């Protein structure tokens, strides 16, 4: 299936959970926030959140520094 991740095209197998996407982008998921179609999804809900064709996903990583 095709979806948009941080404004760019991304493909995943049909029925993939949000945890699968996050694992491909950041193996250590600490400091990560994710929104699907404009709604923030809590990390505890990632395994139960099934992505669908055309979803708009934003993955944000916190960084230290000034």
Instruction: Look at residue 50 in the predicted model and tell me its pLDDT.
Output: 97
Question: For residue 38, what are the contacts with CB-CB under 8 A and spacing of at least 6?
Answer: 56
Instruction: Look at residue 66 in the predicted model and tell me its pLDDT.
Output: 60
Q: What's the pTM?
A: 0.88
Q: What is the pLDDT of residues 2-57, one digit of tens each?
A: 999 999 999 999 999 999 999 988 777 778 999 999 999 999 999 999 999 999 99
Instruction: Look at residue 24 in the predicted model and tell me its pLDDT.
Output: 86
Q: Which residues pair with 3 in a beta bridge?
A: 10
Question: For residue 66, what are the contacts with CB-CB under 8 A and spacing of at least 6?
Answer: none
What structural domains does the chain harbor?
2-61 (3.10.20.30)
């Amino acid at each position: 299936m095709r979806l948009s991740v941080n404004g760019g095209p991304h493909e995943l197998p049909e029925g993939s959970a949000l945890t699968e996407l996050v694992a491909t982008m950041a193996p250590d998921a600490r400091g990560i926030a994710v929104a699907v179609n404009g709604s923030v999804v809590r990390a505890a809900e990632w395994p139960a959140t099934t992505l669908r064709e055309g979803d708009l996903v934003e993955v944000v990583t916190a960084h230290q520094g000034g």
